[in-house]
Amino acid sequence: MDISVFTEKKVIPDNESLCEALGKSHKLWNKIKDHVILKYPEALEDWNYPGVKYGWSFRMKDKKRAIIYLLPRDNFFKVAFVFGQKANDIIMESNICKEIKAELQCAKVYAEGRGIRIDIKNDGLINDIYTLIDIKIST
């Protein structure tokens, strides 16, 4: 079952519990957050609890839409994005790794776009994540 490592509705995760839960990947979490702030300094950050089936997730957004979701797991995390058609087209023409492109192409299309989740267990995809953030912010 793919659920947040934080499931207690009454306990909003703090930096200490996040660091403990993520282990070594906590540094990558912060690098990704820092990149969003660098590219969009007005980004709003908040923890979200959509329900017991999902647990807590972290969201960074502009005034009207989410830029990225960070989903804490046990010793790693996932990043999640929703891309509209324009962003999807840019991604397909970019140098993003073929696995991410394939997942995006296979993603179900909703009114707000295609959603993908990417496991972050090491820094192997960090440059692709930065590019996805840049595309999301610019479209």
- The reported pLDDT for the residue numbered 111 is 87
CA distance 96 to 102: 10
In the block, tokens 């479209």 appear at 139
CA distance 3 to 23: 17
- The reported pLDDT for the residue numbered 29 is 98
- The reported pLDDT for the residue numbered 66 is 94
- The reported pLDDT for the residue numbered 1 is 64
Question: What residues does each domain of the chain span?
Answer: 15-138
CA distance 92 to 108: 16
- The residue ranges of the chain whose pLDDT is under 50 are none
